[in-house]
């Protein structure tokens, strides 16, 4: 069974750094694109970027380029989303998702990681 398990909720202060994780299981992690999606409170889904673990080909939405870093650790089947300096506007629910049934179909989703940035 394909599963994506994300790290727990985080409460941070503006300017702090953060790295959240998404561990895939039940499938060959390196062979499927994995993406990150933001959902701000009461708002819609926003695609942040995608990475292909086999070769680390990573593409960012223009809206998030330079704001976050997507990476993977193939040895433990885990993808990461990282901020170097958080802002209050980064407060949101973050999902990872994998295109398994078809490339870029986004058919399996993690449970979401809530990030709260407040002074």
Toward other proteins, which CB reaches closer, 103 or 119?
103
| 62 contacts: CB under 8 Å, gap ≥ 6 | none
**Cα–Cα dist 46/14, whole Å:** 22
Residue 102: CB minimum distance to other proteins, A: 6
Q: What b/e readout covers 49-85, taking b as 16+ CB neighbours within 10 angstroms? A: bbbbbeeeeeebbeebeebbebebeeeebbbbbebee
Least distance between other proteins and beta carbon 46 (Å): 6
For the chain, helix (H) and strand (E) counts, in that order, are: 0, 11
Using CB under 8 A, list all residues that contact other proteins.
35, 37, 44-47, 50, 59, 61-62, 95, 97, 101-102, 104-107, 109-112
Between 54 and 114, CB nearer to other proteins:
114
Minimal distance, residue 43 CB to other proteins, in Å: 9
CB nearer to other proteins: pick between 18 and 38: 38
Minimum distance between the CB of residue 107 and other proteins, rounded to whole angstroms?
Answer: 4
């Amino acid at each position: 069974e394909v599963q994506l398990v994300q790290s727990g909720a985080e409460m941070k202060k503006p300017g702090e750094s953060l790295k959240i994780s998404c561990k895939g299981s039940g499938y060959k992690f390196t062979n499927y694109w994995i993406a990150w999606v933001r959902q701000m409170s009461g708002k819609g889904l926003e695609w942040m970027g995608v990475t292909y673990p086999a070769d680390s080909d990573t593409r960012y939405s223009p809206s998030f380029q330079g704001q976050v870093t997507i990476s993977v650790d193939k040895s433990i089947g885990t993808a990461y989303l990282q901020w170097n300096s958080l802002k209050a506007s980064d407060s949101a629910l973050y999902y990872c998702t994998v295109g398994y049934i078809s490339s870029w179909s986004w058919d399996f989703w993690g449970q979401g990681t809530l990030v709260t940035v407040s002074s």
